[in-house]
Structure 1
């Protein structure tokens, strides 16, 4: 397990960051296929994906610098190379992306449908990146466990997650194809993705090392996130965010970034 892919002087490329870049590129290319299935123009989906990715990076970096300003003044390069993606950064990026979708006239439900398989693919690749930098699984006697210096043989939870996420990606692509063939309302694929994501996160977290917060909250914070995703996915499935058939939007490509 290694933290750095490349380390030459001040140049430091973390392994996880390399996986993140590969995952982002793969997700963007997959979005060109899923956009058509969801009834969106591929270039509109690409632009939205780029806006989301840039927003996550910029907002997370700004928050990192803001909360560590004194350290940033003393060690700017070191601070900027630290991992910085947080739930706050993701939420902020979500707001920016929602504004962009509104500006471009892209239906939220269709965008979420097209994005669901792409996010599952990104999640799978990020999980492999997490495994490459060290696993956080609980001890196990199973033959496929990996060796840990302190705990002995442990569950490769990140590998389990990657396998589940790759499978989820396939399931969601199949769901999009089925929705397109049947002319079903938009939003169902995204709802399915949220529900299954929540279930995967909830159950696999039982195989990870517990955090201090889990003793206070009864469950790990990630498991509460999983339950929230299950609940939101259920609500989305019941309410149908967009009742219109999944027909392609007539949007001019001149707006492409």
Structure 2
């Protein structure tokens, strides 16, 4: 049964969980954003900015972040695979790094490389040259599958997955809330967005009033929906948990020994 995730956001209103477009993220692109500041802080009209999180369509998340992470996860195993093929023909495992991919293939051809070995390397050309993960290689395909499943099943601690964010009739495209990049937006700006912020008005004050917002020509920044309970509370819980974790250096062994002797617990 399809779950209900969002409801319509009334014009001129917004609250915790309200989703809007035109949020500027760290790479300079415009993404959807969602307010995570507590409802009570919004209702009390405090002057401090509200905290928002970026939302990426899953396909764009993979292009910007996911594919590179999958490549990093696969790098060591692929390097070992390539080294095994090269060393089979008594070629240095760093031949590709020294001579380049194409020259290394020429050297292999001179040594009568087996067709299946050459095909394996050809399939990895994009990965070796540009870290592309479009390949038939089982290692990369499996790591990509695991990565996507971790996002969709919400087992990562730095992302929150939603299948749709606009309305219930929207096809499930998949969206990723980035818990690791909180962005502050002023109440004045969110108030303007709640009424529909046109490019003409944005352009006049984009460097002062509308920080962290991008409205391009013929566009309008506006709220598109609001994430409903209990999903919005779960999102806030996940976000809070990510930032409530505190890592500290362990007490030194010498200091620990002194304290233990002091309190006679040796």
TM bin, normalised by shorter chain, reads under 0.3
Work out which of the two has the higher radius of gyration on C-alpha atoms and give 1 or 2.
2
TM-score normalised by length of structure 2: 0.24
Higher strand share: 2
Which structure ranks higher in relative contact order (CA pairs < 8 Å, sequence separation ≥ 6)?
2
Higher helix share: 1
TM-score normalised by length of structure 1: 0.24
